[in-house]
Amino acid sequence: MTNPHIGNTGVNFADEESKQCLLGGLVIRSLSISTSNWRCAETLGDYLAERNIMGVYDVDTRAITRRLRQDGSLIGVLSTEESKEERNFWKCLIRVDLITGVTCKAPYEWVDKTNSEWEFNYKGRDGEAFHVIASDFGIKHNILRRLASHGCKITVVPSTYSSSETLTRKPDGVICSSGPGDPSAVPYAVETVKEILGKVPVFGICMGHQLLGQALGGKTFKMKFGHHGGNHPVRNLRTGHVEISAQNHNYAVDPASLPEGVEVTHVNLNDGSCAGLAYPAINIMSLQYHPEASPGPRDSDYAFTEFVELMKRVKVNA
């Protein structure tokens, strides 16, 4: 964290976006000695300690930022094991499958109700519920809440769930969720997505967008800095509108590597990188950023409406 003061608002459990905290470690400059927020349920230090997550403060995070600004994203290690040789750490961090450690262990139905405060883009339902399979590559709860707010029945499945198992459930659509790491480190997920394409509508978000890019025959690459934070401007090339988006990724899809028929629908205005794709011929759409927000801007929430409309058109024309 580069903000100098961290922890002054504490932690509240209502804002958690997964069933458990999947953080590997936290490095900050200054840890607040007190909290001041009406929603605070626990201090940051207690929250990390109870979950056995390593944290360190009194670090010059601005110096780290200057180094990263010059050299780009770098591999780092936070450890208490002085006996290990440095090169042994690096071997553990290159092309690592980070998804296996964050996905669910077995399929489950999403049954939590969507709070009224998240119904800001709700325009009513026509009574038809679509069954959506959500492939969990590190899914955020608000992706599920936004689908549920549109009346969808949602089954969340592990990242290793096969295409045949997915299609046996007869979904109306599949969501390939967000998640950590390098899409090239999870070829099994790319293969599963490839086998689903063209059979049902597919919506990819963040990691799901990158997996779709590879499944279509495209390439992904590691960015120098990646995109992190809640204020990235993105242009919707179909409408010309600019959306402010929340992003958190280190890899991107190379649009020049994609086959004919695949359309780049969104572009990041900071660096021109691909921020969204569509392949109308086989009912695919994807976004590199987080339309579900939580936290973050709500400018792109319409994407969930578009996915529901896509499932509706496919069902009508079947």
Assess if residue 98 is contained within a domain: no
* Mean confidence (pLDDT) of the chain: 91
> How far from the centroid of its chain's Cα atoms is residue 46's Cα?
26
CATH number at 121 reads 3.40.50.880
Number of structural domains found in the chain:
2
Residue 176 appears among annotated catalytic residues: no
Assess if residue 99 is contained within a domain: no
Match 């969340």 to its residue by tokens.
156
- HEC per residue, 109-148: EECCCCCHHHCCCCCCCCCCCCEEEEECCCCCHHHHHHHH
Is the pLDDT confidence value at 87 over 60? yes
Q: For 261-271, what is the mean pLDDT?
A: 97
In this structure, the answer to whether residues 84 and 125 fall within a common structural domain is no
In this structure, the answer to whether residues 262 and 130 fall within a common structural domain is yes
Is the pLDDT confidence value at 107 over 50? yes
Structure tokens at 225: 């800095």
Distance CA 25, CA 172 (A): 38
Residue 206 appears among annotated catalytic residues: yes
pTM here? 0.92
In this structure, the answer to whether residues 58 and 112 fall within a common structural domain is no
In this structure, the answer to whether residues 32 and 68 fall within a common structural domain is yes
Beta bridge partners of residue 254, listed in sequence order: 219
- Structural domain of 51: 5-91
The alpha helices in 177-262, defined as continuous H runs, are 187-196, 207-215
**pLDDT tens-place string over residues 15-63:** 899 989 999 899 999 999 899 999 999 999 999 999 999 999 999 999 9
The one-letter code for the residue type at 261 is: G
**80 φψ region: left (φ > 0), alpha (ψ -120 to 50), beta (else):** alpha
The DSSP 8-state label assigned to residue 128 in this structure reads P
Question: Following DSSP, what letter does each residue of 45-58 receive, concatenated?
Answer: HHHHHHTT-EEE-S
In percent, how much of the chain has pLDDT > 90? Answer: 78
Is the pLDDT confidence value at 267 over 70? yes
In this structure, the answer to whether residues 241 and 208 fall within a common structural domain is yes
In this structure, the answer to whether residues 162 and 45 fall within a common structural domain is no
Contact 306, 236 (CB under 8 A): no
In this structure, the answer to whether residues 123 and 179 fall within a common structural domain is yes
Is the pLDDT confidence value at 290 over 70? yes
The one-letter code for the residue type at 71 is: D
Distance CA 264, CA 274 (A): 7
Q: What 3-state DSSP class applies to 290?
A: coil
Q: Please return the burial class of 238, using the count of CB atoms within 10 Å of its CB with bins 0-12, 13-18 and 19+.
A: exposed
Q: Of 64, 91, 118, which one is at a domain's C-terminal end?
A: 91
The one-letter code for the residue type at 281 is: A
Q: Of 91, 117, 134, which one is at a domain's C-terminal end?
A: 91
Contact 269, 236 (CB under 8 A): no
Report pLDDT for 113: 72
Listed in sequence order, the residues at least 6 apart from 8 whose beta carbon sits closer than 8 Å to its beta carbon are 32, 34, 35, 36, 37
CATH number at 63 reads 3.50.30.20
Report pLDDT for 77: 81
Assess if residue 97 is contained within a domain: no
Which of 176, 206, 227, 232 is labelled catalytic?
A: 206
**pLDDT tens-place string over residues 168-202:** 999 999 999 999 999 999 999 999 999 999 999 99
Assess if residue 100 is contained within a domain: no
